[in-house]
């Protein structure tokens, strides 16, 4: 049995679908009962409360784990106690950032360290930014044809969550991934304006991107995230402490096919922007 955390999220949902396609036994961890995800068995638990996972972990061989919860060593200890053999941790390229005081890097590194020191077999996935982050433009695109966002001059080889899931499922089901760190990205570095152009083609609309000044970007971001995370993203994209523009070979090497393009991701999500 494989337990998938973040089951209702962009990546976890794709991991469950891929496990079902592979015919592997899978269980979805949900915070609250309800939503059907990929038709698999559901169990409730809170990743911030390791003791709440006792039922979820019963009979589990491997876990797909999200990072950044309150007590990552406690979570790993709970998994060890339950007899889990292998953890595939969704981390980030931020774990390699040069500034380890950065709040996002800190929680990725803290999560990797807890799993590494637990004695469990592990695989770390370090993806670039997700294509699904573009969903934050839905309100602007429903309201009009202009997208305004931060860091308009920063190219990112963002990745489709589908591809992160494809790699995760290889790591969960096939031998040889223990103790390995997979660096993952999409196939092309794109500027936000490039992504808006592709979305326009997919939606059949004449869309335009306008970059926010750093001052306006800081104000917009501060409305939706804690100050430490705003500083973290300015550290990544203004101080250049992360490299998300480089195309990484991981998806191709592990799945045997190239990573999906932004146009493929956008075509699958078109309804969300209408
Ligand atoms: N976005 C990026 O560019 C990026 C890049 C690299 C790494 N990451 C990492 O990838 C992670 C997953 O991304 P995503 O886009 O798939 O996330 P997402 O769509 O926001 O989904 C988060 C999932 O985690 C669940 N969750 C949240 N708190 C929980 C808790 N205390 N106990 C149990 N489940 C909990 C949510 O469940 P509910 O349905 O109950 O809310 C949801 O299923 C991020 O959290 C981030 O750390 C992100």
Helices (H) and strands (E) counted in the chain, each on its own, are 11, 9
Q: How many domains does the chain have?
A: 1
Which pLDDT belongs to residue 47?
98
User: Strand, coil or helix: what is 4?
Assistant: strand
Which stretch of DSSP H or E encloses residue 121?
Answer: strand 121-127
Ligand 1 mean position to 206 CA, how many Å?
32
Report the residue among 66, 111, 181, 183 best suited for mutation to probe ligand 1: largest number of ligand atoms under 8 A from its CB: 66
Ligand 1 atom closest to 5 (CA): 34
Ligand 1 mean position to 8 CA, how many Å?
8
Ligand 1 atom closest to 94 (CA): 6
Which pLDDT belongs to residue 99?
85
The pLDDT tens digits along the chain (274 residues) read 999 999 999 999 999 999 999 999 999 999 998 878 889 999 999 999 999 999 999 999 999 999 999 999 999 999 999 999 999 999 999 999 878 899 999 999 999 999 999 999 999 999 999 999 999 999 999 999 999 999 999 999 999 999 999 999 999 999 999 999 999 999 999 999 999 999 999 999 999 999 999 999 999 999 999 999 999 999 999 999 999 999 999 999 999 999 999 999 999 999 999 8
**Residue list, ligand 1 pocket, CB within 6 Å:** 5-12, 31, 46-48, 66-68, 90, 92, 127, 129-130, 132-133
Ligand 1 atom closest to 107 (CA): 47
Closest protein CA for atom 3 of ligand 1 = 129
Ligand 1 mean position to 66 CA, how many Å?
7
Which pLDDT belongs to residue 209?
98
Which pLDDT belongs to residue 103?
97
* Separation of alpha carbons 147 and 163, rounded Å: 26
Which residue from 66, 60, 50 is spatially nearest to 5, judged by alpha carbons? Answer: 66
Q: Residue 16 in contact with residue 7, Cβ under 8 Å?
A: yes
Q: What is the CATH number of the domain that holds 54?
A: 3.40.50.720
Model-wide pTM > 0.95: yes
Which pLDDT belongs to residue 87?
98
Phi, psi dihedrals of residue 130, rounded to the nearest 5°? -85, 145
Which pLDDT belongs to residue 211?
98
Q: Residue 147: count other Cβ atoms within 10 Å of its Cβ.
A: 22
Which pLDDT belongs to residue 180?
98
Which pLDDT belongs to residue 35?
79
Q: 59 is in which domain, residue-wise? A: 2-273
Ligand 1 mean position to 35 CA, how many Å?
16
Ligand 1 mean position to 14 CA, how many Å?
12
């Amino acid at each position: 049995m494989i337990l998938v955390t973040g089951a209702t999220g962009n990546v976890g949902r794709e991991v469950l679908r891929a496990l079902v396609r592979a015919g592997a036994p899978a269980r979805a961890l949900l915070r609250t009962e309800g939503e059907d995800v990929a038709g698999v068995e559901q169990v409730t638990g809170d990743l911030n409360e390791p003791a709440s996972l006792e039922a979820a972990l019963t009979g589990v061989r491997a876990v797909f784990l999200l990072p950044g919860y309150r007590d990552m060593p406690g979570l790993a200890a709970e998994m060890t106690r339950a007899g889990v053999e292998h953890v595939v941790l969704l981390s980030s390229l931020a774990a390699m950032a040069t500034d380890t005081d950065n709040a996002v890097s800190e929680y990725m590194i803290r999560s990797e360290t807890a799993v590494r020191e637990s004695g469990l077999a592990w695989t770390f996935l370090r993806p670039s930014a997700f294509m699904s982050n573009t969903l934050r433009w839905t309100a602007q695109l429903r309201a009009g044809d202009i997208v305004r966002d931060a860091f308009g001059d920063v190219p990112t080889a963002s990745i489709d969550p589908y591809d992160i899931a494809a790699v995760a499922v290889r790591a969960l089901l096939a031998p040889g991934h223990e103790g390995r760190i997979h660096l993952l990205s999409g196939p092309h570095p794109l500027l936000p304006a490039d992504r808006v152009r592709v979305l326009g083609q997919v939606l059949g609309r004449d869309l335009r991107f306008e970059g926010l000044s750093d001052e306006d970007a800081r104000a917009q971001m501060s409305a939706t995230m804690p100050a430490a995370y705003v500083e973290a993203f300015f550290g990544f994209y203004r101080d250049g402490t992360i490299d998300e523009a480089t195309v990484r070979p991981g998806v191709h090497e592990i799945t045997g096919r190239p990573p999906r393009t932004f146009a493929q991701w956008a075509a699958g999500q078109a309804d969300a922007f209408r």
